[in-house]
Amino acid sequence: MSQLTDEIERRRTFAIISHPDAGKTTLTEKLLLYGGAIHIAGAVKSNKIKKTATSDWMEIEKQRGISVATSVMGFNYGDYKINILDTPGHQDFAEDTYRTLTAVDSVIIVVDVAKGVEQQTRKLMEVCRMRNTPVIIFVNKLDREGRDPFEILDELESELKINVRPLSWPINIGAKFKGVYNIYENTLDLFTPNKQKVTERVEISDINDERIDETVGPEDAAKLREDIELIEGVYPTFDERSYLEGKTAPVFFGSALNTFGVKELLDCFVKIAPSPRPTHAVERDINPEEEAFTGFVFKIHANMDPNHRSCIAFVKVCSGEFVRNAPYRHVRSGKVMKFAAPTAFMAQKKSIVDEAYPGDIVGIPDTGNFKIGDTITSGEELHFKGLPSFSPEMFKYIENTDPMKAKQLDKGVQQLMDEGVAQLFVNQFNGRKIIGTVGQLQFEVIQYRLLHEYGAQCRWEPLSLYKACWIESDDAQALEAFKKRKHQFMATDREGRDVFLADSAYVLQMAQTDFPKINFHFASEF
């Protein structure tokens, strides 16, 4: 095997996603502890933008500084090189999370055993499903009272629209929680309440082993056997291929806070999770083993210091070896660039790297050359696909309030959109600019950053819209007729595509019925 193939096969690049408060931060931290990347619990916490009310915006500012370092957490675990890509906790930054999901090869979903599937989890799963991303589910907080595990499995299946297959099984929940039977490894892991220590493990021959009765008592042992029999009867044997195709999600039970079930999850994860997979470009599919380097920008992180308007562009390496100072082509501009100070993210430290491999993320200092979705190659003209924008949830007109600073405002808005902070549409009827976001917080971020980084002032004007949909049709005449009829509600996105702004669900439904030849899309890639 070549060195490149070796490096690719040992890489696992993934994201942990959850509804806020399910335990993503805690689990991330425990994984880092296993990887030796941090030495004390609590180190990742500071990164959290948590349950922040809009008035806490300054607090978010402060935290942004830290979050560059924890955006990507790389560490070695056994023979494996693991890259965890962090996603923002606050749902107003959901778009950022969607894009991060395009840069991972698999995902771990954390679900709270008491709450089950929550709204944010459902949405994120949709993005995973679009890309057939393999998913492992960790049901967390078993030390607390929660719902029946069978009920949770049913809910996971119906709400997340994926087959599930338990690979571990809890013995009671909450105060009576005794541990889990590890189906995948055929062991019994005992839980000691209030002890922050790693599981005590009992090796057993099979589910009928008497040691189970001795350790958890005959009653719980009987119940466990009954449950396992039911599981084996209802769920097909775990099929790794079905997992890799994104069709079946293995499920683990545990408690991140108590570091219980975390190592078992990690050990199974490194074994079954995929190493970097081929990436789709408009021109062709790119295999990670190809020698020529290719990569794309999936995130841009601005420096909040107004005196240094520099950014870090996060580039996912898709194929070949990335080498510091080698000449690479920035496909959109056609320019050849050399990167003198690319950084890697290992053990939460940023340091300059000389090379990186598929699955790795490199941070490239930038002063405004990069845009989200940009492709960088050794020379080939390639355009990576798969960084769609979704219809925003909130819309406002943006108005300039300082006529002397119109240019600054324009530039600021353009650059913030390049960074992917929000989406810009221009109304085709009156030429007014509309900003679309996922939540109110983004409007505040934009206003604040325009003022502090560009010296421009803006004001928001309310605009009540339901959805923005990208429209197209094979029938040019039908398209023209639609645009004419809806001319007041037509806008153009930054790529010059036609977007229909529907002001209510009813209007949208009527439009779909009245214009059957028009295709309405809720994501910019179709």
Q: C-alpha angle 432/433/439, rounded to 5°?
A: 135
Please name every residue paired with 110 in a beta bridge, in sequence order, or none if there are none: 18, 138
257 versus 376: smaller Cβ distance to ligand G4P: 257
Nearer to ligand G4P, 46 or 186 (CB): 46
The piece of 69-77, 136-144, 269-277, 468-476 that touches ligand G4P (CB under 6 A) is: 136-144
- Smaller CB separation from ligand G4P, 115 or 350: 115
Q: 241: which 2 tokens?
A: 């291929």
Work out the angle at residue 472's Cα, subtended by the Cα atoms of residues 467 and 474, and round it to the nearest 5 degrees. 155
In 283-419, where do the E strands start and end?
Answer: 285-286, 294-302, 311-319, 322-323, 327-330, 335-338, 343-346, 349-352, 355-356, 361-366, 375-377, 394-400
Question: From the list 10, 17, 25, 366, which residue makes contact with ligand G4P (rule: CB under 6 A)?
Answer: 25
Closer Cβ to ligand G4P, 5 or 52, answer by number: 52
Q: How many C-beta neighbours within 10 Å does residue 26 have?
A: 22
What's the closest the beta carbon of residue 270 comes to ligand G4P, in angstroms? 22
The residue range among 19-27, 315-323, 360-368, 410-418 that interacts with ligand G4P, by the rule CB under 6 A, is: 19-27
Yes or no: say if 187 and 203 are a contact pair by the CB < 8 Å rule. yes
Instruction: Indicate which single residue of 10, 12, 18, 212 sits in contact with ligand G4P (rule: CB under 6 A).
Output: 18
DSSP 391-427: --SEEEEEEES-GGGHHHHHHHHHHHHHHTSSEEEEE
Q: How far is the CB of 390 from ligand G4P (least distance, A)?
A: 22
Q: Binding of ligand G4P at residue 144 (CB under 6 A)?
A: yes
Q: With binding defined as CB under 6 A, does residue 24 bind ligand G4P?
A: yes
Tokens of 239: 């099929």
Alpha-helical runs (H) found in 235-333: 240-244, 262-272
Q: Which one of the spans 253-261, 268-276, 380-388, 496-504 is the region binding ligand G4P (CB under 6 A)?
A: 253-261
Task: Tell me, by CB under 6 A, how many residues bind ligand G4P.
Answer: 17
Per 3-state DSSP, what percentage of the chain is helix, strand, and coil (rounded to 5)? 35, 30, 40
Tell whether residue 23 is a contact of ligand G4P (CB under 6 A): yes
Nearer to ligand G4P, 112 or 321 (CB): 112
Q: Is 246 left (phi over 0), alpha (psi -120 to 50) or beta?
A: left
**Closest CB 224 distance from ligand G4P, rounded Å:** 21
Tell whether residue 386 is a contact of ligand G4P (CB under 6 A).
no
CA distance 456 to 448: 9
Instruction: Spell out the alpha helix ranges (H) of 72-161.
Output: 94-101, 119-130, 149-160
**Could you say whether residue 143 binds ligand G4P (CB under 6 A)?**
yes
Report whether 319 contacts 292 (CB < 8 A): yes
Would the CA dihedral through 416, 417, 421, 423 be positive or negative? positive
**Interface stretch with ligand G4P, choices 138-146, 150-158, 185-193, 510-518 (CB under 6 A):** 138-146
**Applying CB under 6 A, does 86 fall inside the site for ligand G4P?**
no
Residues whose CB is less than 8 angstroms from the CB of residue 236 and which lie 6 or more positions away in sequence, other chains included: 165
Q: Is 30 in the site for ligand G4P (CB under 6 A)?
A: no
Q: Provide, rounded to whole angstroms, the least separation between the CB of residue 342 and ligand G4P.
A: 29
Give whichever of 168 and 255 is closer to ligand G4P, judged by the CB atom: 255
Shortest approach of ligand G4P to residue 61 CB, angstroms?
20
Q: Whole-number minimum distance, CB 507 to ligand G4P, in Å?
A: 37
Task: By CB under 6 A, name the one of 12, 81, 141, 299 that touches ligand G4P.
Answer: 141
Nearest approach in angstroms of CB 353 to ligand G4P is: 28
Cβ(68)–Cβ(313) below 8 Å: no
Q: Judged by CB under 6 A, which of 8, 15, 17, 22 binds ligand G4P?
A: 22
**Side-chain half-sphere of 280: how many Cα atoms within 13 Å?**
8
Distance CA 342, CA 374 (A): 16
Rounded to a whole number of angstroms, the minimum distance from the CB of residue 58 to ligand G4P is 21
Amino acid in the structure at residue 143: D
Q: Please select the residue that binds ligand G4P; options are 215, 255, 377, 437, rule is CB under 6 A.
A: 255
> Is 383 near ligand G4P (CB under 6 A)?
no
442 scored as a contact of ligand G4P (CB under 6 A): no
Examine residue 83 and tell whether it contacts ligand G4P (CB under 6 A).
Answer: no
For the bound state, the minimum distance from the C-beta of residue 100 to ligand G4P, rounded and expressed in Å, comes to 15
Q: Least separation, in Å, of the C-beta of 111 and ligand G4P?
A: 10
Residue 21 sits in the site that holds ligand G4P (CB under 6 A): yes
Chain residues 257-296 in contact with ligand G4P, contact rule CB under 6 A: 257-258
CA distance 32 to 75: 8
Q: How far apart are CA 177 and CA 192, in angstroms?
A: 9
Residue ranges that bind ligand G4P, judged by CB under 6 A = 18, 20-26, 89, 140-141, 143-144, 255-258
